[in-house]
Amino acid sequence: MTPAPTHGPQHLTLALPKGRILEEAVALLARAGLPLTVPEKSRALRHEFPGVTVLELRNQDVPVYVDLGVADAGIVGKDVLLESGRAVYEPVDLRFAGCRLSLIREVGASGDISRVGTKYPRAARAYLNARGIPAEIVKLSGNIELACLTGLADAVVDLVQTGSTLRANHLEEVDVLFHSSARLIVNRAALKVRRERLRPLIEALRGLTQDVEGGE
């Protein structure tokens, strides 16, 4: 096993998710003063820039790497962060990748909900428990809406943004569990050790993303 490189307090290790968040995250971090570019299409998973290492991860692994301190900070959707259950410091709402986690059914469906398909079992369980709905939850990995269409489940809990996936599949949004956007997350110990790097980054990202008048 290659040992993890040990870096001094002036070096930052960032956890970024491959997929739709990566490009905008890198662009925002570059505007905030970090010398990053979108990692080239290669099989390399760890990318080195002056003073910064980028770890390219699956979304759901970003909170784990930050919470366990392998990464000092990361960017991830609020949906994935909540589902992870990791109590990391979340100092900035980056206000992109906006979407909502919703309960979805076939248009006009009115029967009991006894089985729910989702990539978000923790959020779905909390929602159903709060309403006293004793439904079974089936954990799925993608194209969640298909569970409704095929009868695998009589409802799904999944992300909605434009609503075009719903319209294309004769589905409707019955309820919204919560709204999500990309967040900066930070390891609490790193915030002390790498304060000189992390504090200016947090402030720069706040300056770039928060309304001048409204604050956070």
- Residue ranges in contact with ligand PRP by CB under 6 A: 142-145, 158-165
Size of the residue set binding ligand ATP (CB under 6 A): 15
User: What is the smallest separation between the CB atom of 187 and ligand PRP, expressed in angstroms?
Assistant: 27
Report the alpha-carbon distance of residue 69 to residue 50 in Å, rounded: 20
Helices 22-31 and 195-209, axial angle in degrees (round to 10): 100
C-alpha atoms less than 13 angstroms from C-alpha of 163 in its C-beta half-sphere:
8
Q: Considering Cα of 10, then 72, then 94, then 199, what sign does the dihedral take?
A: negative
What dihedral angle (degrees, nearest 10) is formed by the CA atoms of 165, 168, 172, 173? 10
159 binds ligand ATP (CB under 6 A): yes
Q: Are strands 115-118 and 155-160 parallel, antiparallel or unpaired?
A: parallel
The interface with ligand ATP within residues 80-119 (CB under 6 A) comprises 80, 97, 99
User: What is the smallest separation between the CB atom of 69 and ligand ATP, expressed in angstroms?
Assistant: 21
User: What is the smallest separation between the CB atom of 145 and ligand PRP, expressed in angstroms?
Assistant: 6
138 binds ligand ATP (CB under 6 A): no
Alpha carbon of residue 79 to chain centroid? 5
User: Of 14, 15, 16, 21, which lies in the binding site for ligand ATP, with binding defined by CB under 6 A?
Assistant: 21
Q: Which does 164 bind (CB under 5 to 8 A by kind): ligand ATP, ligand PRP, none?
A: ligand PRP
The residues binding ligand ATP (CB under 6 A) are 17, 19-21, 58-60, 77, 79-80, 97, 99, 159, 161, 180
